[in-house]
Structure 1
Amino acid sequence: MTCYLFDQKSLPEGFQFPQSFLDVVGRDVLPDLQPWRFLCQSPKDADGWMLAVQRLYPTRKLVPFALWVGSDDVACFDGGGASDDPVVHYVHAYASAGWEDRGNVPNFGEWLKAATEQSASFKAQVDDQ
């Protein structure tokens, strides 16, 4: 599967996607992390969320890469530094600036681990219904 990773002009200056992320989205099949969905599956969704995050939080350099389906929660790389393994922020989009932050994890690997656990819990709840 080919994943859309934004036009270089829309990314913060100097930002590079972490290799661990590129390895995952470069697979033939993306992992099923429901309710999380990788934005790179749809250029329209990816660009829409990038524009929304930039408009809503202009002082932050965020690069959205996953959406919690059914909510406005997005996982975003911190594009403000030159790290090759940036922090991942949980952002509740459309909350007032200063109230959007839902925490963070040190990097994509930690986000993937948490998303996998959240997905298993979510699917177990769905199966119980």
Structure 2
Amino acid sequence: MNEFERYTIKNIDFKYPNAYYKLIELGLTDFDIWFFMEEKQATGIFEGMKNRYPDRNLIPFAKRSDNDDTACFELETENKVQLIHDFASSGWEQRGEYEDLWSWLKEAIDTLVDFSRDEEGI
């Protein structure tokens, strides 16, 4: 299994954005609080979200380790990233939207910095 396969859900009709492959190529997949899910975990969440949010076509790719927030692509929104609070009641799951993966990445890094500063007491 190559690195790209490690972080993509198999057997779905979805083309991950080029930025996603770029981050994997650079090894930028773990931001402490946020991390890219490996295929098995992402597939499990994908299947669960299909049941929890049947009106949405969410492709989860990253998870926040301290709560149920999940970053997803959505078929209908092209390259936008949807911030989903998984396990929330249908209709209440949406926590935010980012214009693209790069915008989400900035937020993930800001979260890492803030969390690390809090841990260090800065």
CA RMSD of aligned residues (A): 1.8
5+ residue gaps, structure 2, are none
What residue is the counterpart of 2:9 in the other structure? 6
Q: Is the 8 A contact 2:7 2:39 kept in 1?
A: yes
Superposition pairs for residues 60-79 of structure 1, below 5 Å?
60-79=56-75
**Match among 50, 55, 72 for residue 54 of structure 1:** 50
TM-score, normalised to structure 1's length?
0.83
Per-residue CA deviation, residues 28-47 of structure 1 (Å, 9 max, x unaligned), is x33541200111xx322111
Opposite residue 117 of structure 2, the aligned amino acid is: A
**Are 1:127 and 2:114 matched, yes or no?**
no
Tell which has more relative contact order, 1 or 2 (C-alpha 8 A, sep 6+).
Answer: 1
5+ residue gaps, structure 1, are none
Identity over aligned residues, as a percent? Answer: 30
TM-score, normalised to structure 2's length?
0.88
**Match among 63, 73, 89 for residue 96 of structure 1:** 89
Opposite residue 99 of structure 2, the aligned amino acid is: P
Opposite residue 37 of structure 1, the aligned amino acid is: F
Change in CA separation of 1:31 and 1:37 when aligned onto 2, cut-off 3 Å? closer
Per-residue CA deviation, residues 39-66 of structure 1 (Å, 9 max, x unaligned), is 1xx3221111111111110110111010
Find runs of 4+ consecutive structure 1 residues off by over 4 angstroms: none
How many pairs were matched up? 119
